[in-house]
Amino acid sequence: MPYMIIDDIKSRLNIITLAESEGLKLVKQSNRLYKTTCCFHNETKASLTFYADTNTFNCFACQANGDAINFYAKRHNLENKEAIKELAGQLGLQKGYQRHTRNTTSDLTRKDEPRGIVSLKEHLKGKERQLKRIQRQPDDIYRALQEFCDGIDQETETYLTSESRGLTAETIKQFGIFSIKDYKKTKEFLLNKFSFERLREIALIDSKNRFSFTKNKIVIPVIEDGKIVAIRGRFFNKGISDPDIFSYKTFSYPKYKSTAGVADRLFNSDILKTLKKGEQVFLAEGEFDTMILEQYGKHAVGVLGVSNYSEDTIKRLNDFELQICFDNDEQGKKEADKVARIFNRQTGRIAYFETALRDAGVKDITELFIKRAKEKK
């Protein structure tokens, strides 16, 4: 791809508008700076920053950074050269574009024309194709990683089956959970078996050549259509599950860390294919609440981050009786209400809320089941 085309793409893509067209809700800090929660890993703090003057982005937590092309590539799990080719096609740029001038290409998107990004989005070939690409690419890597790690170690098993988590060995096996026992050996194994470029694409290796799951050692596969499309790592280091204990002034560890491909996913979504129309489905916040619901005989799926969903995500639940059971906190209540409104708008039906959390005075579904188990005893 000629360098001039690359330069033209960069000059015509406004990264602020591009980010908003990708569904990110940016908060303006100043005329040059916008922030939001990162779409490349799970977090509650707004670490992802966009710079209007330089047309670049940077996440201070997961170190994702670059220009508008890099953002588009990472957002859609593409190599840079694929992103350049796709963007050039959508913007109407051709290989011989060097012969053209900006005056003769009035149909192209300029940085000060937000409508161009909308036009770009309208011409994209669709989310379905992008998701299928993600599904094809990483499964072999994740399966190899899962096989190499060979289940969970004793320390992880003790934590997951403890009173605070309440999972059984059968549930752990059912959901394919495994643990990173030695991240240096794990990284070496991956680099010997797969290309550095592929590992970077799916964010198993970060921009500074570091293995992404050094402290987030409890790994939960995200499976769709029987394939592992992404993985999520729960912080667990030296027997401690609270990342704040290991956080520093200049750096903090996230509670969850994700590879590429988790945006708008539903955890345990394959269960939906086994259900009949009208059956009850619980929508939980996160993997652990989803797993505990399934363990107790409920049909459950989960959002991977309380705000990690779109209208299309909720549309997948339209055939069922929806029971929302997000965490019993301010954020959980707010997002549960938003999901209920989307569901009602799409179906004309009412989604139900799990009021037992409030009545029992517990934080989440896991705590509710643990409390009930204690009361039975």
- Render pLDDT for 204-238 as a digit per residue (tens, 0 to 9): 998 778 899 999 999 999 999 999 999 999 999 98
Domain C-terminal end among 69, 98, 124? 124
Does 132 fall in a domain? no
Range of the domain at 15: 3-124
Whether 132 has a pLDDT exceeding 60, the answer reads no
Rounded CA-CA distance 297/95 in Å is 57
Q: How many domains is the chain built from?
A: 3
Domain of 312: which CATH number? 3.40.1360.10
- Over residues 263-321, the pLDDT tens digits come to 889 999 999 999 999 999 999 999 999 999 999 999 999 999 888 899 999 999 999 99
Helices (H), 196-285: 196-201
Domain C-terminal end among 217, 238, 258? 258
8 A C-beta contact, residue 287 and residue 302: yes
Tell me if residue 288 falls in helix, strand or coil. Answer: helix
Domain C-terminal end among 258, 283, 301? 258
Rounded CA-CA distance 292/370 in Å is 10
Residues 171 and 231 occupy one common structural domain:
yes
Q: Comparing C-alpha atoms, which of 126, 248, 236, 226 is closest to residue 178?
A: 236
The answer to pTM > 0.85 is no
Residues 154 and 223 occupy one common structural domain:
yes
